[in-house]
Amino acid sequence: MVSVPLAAIVTAVIGGISGLTANLAALEMAGKINEKLPESKRMSEIWWDSTVRRKFKALYPGDRLVWWYDQFFPVGLLCFLVLLKVWVFRR
């Protein structure tokens, strides 16, 4: 039986929620960008790139979606690294 440390479970939950929140914010940003752009210049809502934040900030200055993305994306990455340390490299 494999024992998973409690710290790994908590880190995975926090990281998963953070990553999901950042991804949902990015998807919402892509959708709002597409509302303003002509059909020939729209971006895919399924396969968006890293320029979505820059494009959204240019079209919607001061919108809170950028704040959500900026807060939760690094937390998700940090939790992934902590999860590697706590669970994979626990010795």
Query: Left if phi > 0, otherwise alpha if psi is -120 to 50, otherwise beta: which for 62?
Result: left
- Tokens for 4? 């998973």
Residue 18 has pLDDT above 90, yes or no: yes
User: Tens of pLDDT along 23-80?
Assistant: 999 999 999 998 998 888 888 777 777 788 888 999 999 899 999 999 999 999 999 9
Type of residue numbered 81: L
**pLDDT, position 88:** 82
**pLDDT, position 91:** 64
Q: What is this structure's pTM? A: 0.81
pLDDT, average across residues 11-22:
95
- Cα–Cα distance between 27 and 2 in angstroms, integer? 36
Reported confidence tier of residue 82, pLDDT bands at 50, 70, 90: very high
